[in-house]
Amino acid sequence: MDNITVIGIDPASTKLAFVAMELNNQNLHVVEFHKKLGKSGGESCSNARKATVEFVNQLRSGFNYKKPPEKIFAFIESPIVGRGGVRTTMVQCFTSGAIQGALHDERIRTQAVNVSSWKKQVVGYGRASKEEVAEYIRLRWNDLFAKADGNQDIYDAACIALFGCKQLTDNGLE
């Protein structure tokens, strides 16, 4: 099986970013998708689930690929308590659960990823700043960097997808 796609997902309480790439050809076929989810927890969860299914359906229909992927793996950033406080983190947890539930229903194996883990493995420093992550993407994928137009969520999702590719390559597919 050589047509494997890895999705990197950066969920927040009110928005969501996906980046997908082929496992064996990480420099090509980068697909980004950014969606605002709404203000309330219920609205965010419902819209996150719908956006996830829509994104997966686009991938499976061939989206920007020559042919649809045979297998899809997803890596999603774990929620952490941050600037928004506990309430925002709780909504992120709900949103993450809705996304993971949708991926499960779509039969896509999903792994949660700690932010410092993907930053350390991909960027080289677990406490990399937003600017350092953006610069990494600019150097690796200038076209994605330009297209994202400063959208940090897209940059993060791309790095999460790279982390997933590395995990699958280093540890095998199962």
Residue boundaries of the structural domains of the chain: 4-171
The overall average pLDDT reported for the chain is: 86
- What confidence score (pLDDT) does residue 82 get? 73
Which three-class secondary structure state does DSSP give residue 108?
coil
Give the list of residues 6+ apart from residue 9 with CB closer than 8 angstroms, or none.
16, 17, 18, 74, 75, 76, 77, 99, 157, 160
- Tens digit of each residue's pLDDT (9 = 90 or more) over 111-141: 999 999 999 999 999 999 999 999 999 998 8
Q: What are the backbone angles phi and psi of residue 12, rounded to the nearest 5°?
A: -135, -175
Return d(Cα 44, Cα 1) in angstroms, integer: 35
- Tens digit of each residue's pLDDT (9 = 90 or more) over 87-119: 878 888 889 999 999 999 999 999 999 999 999
**pTM, whole model, 2 decimals?**
0.91
Which three-class secondary structure state does DSSP give residue 24?
coil
- What confidence score (pLDDT) does residue 44 get? 84
> Does the structural domain 4-171 have CATH classification 3.30.420.10?
yes
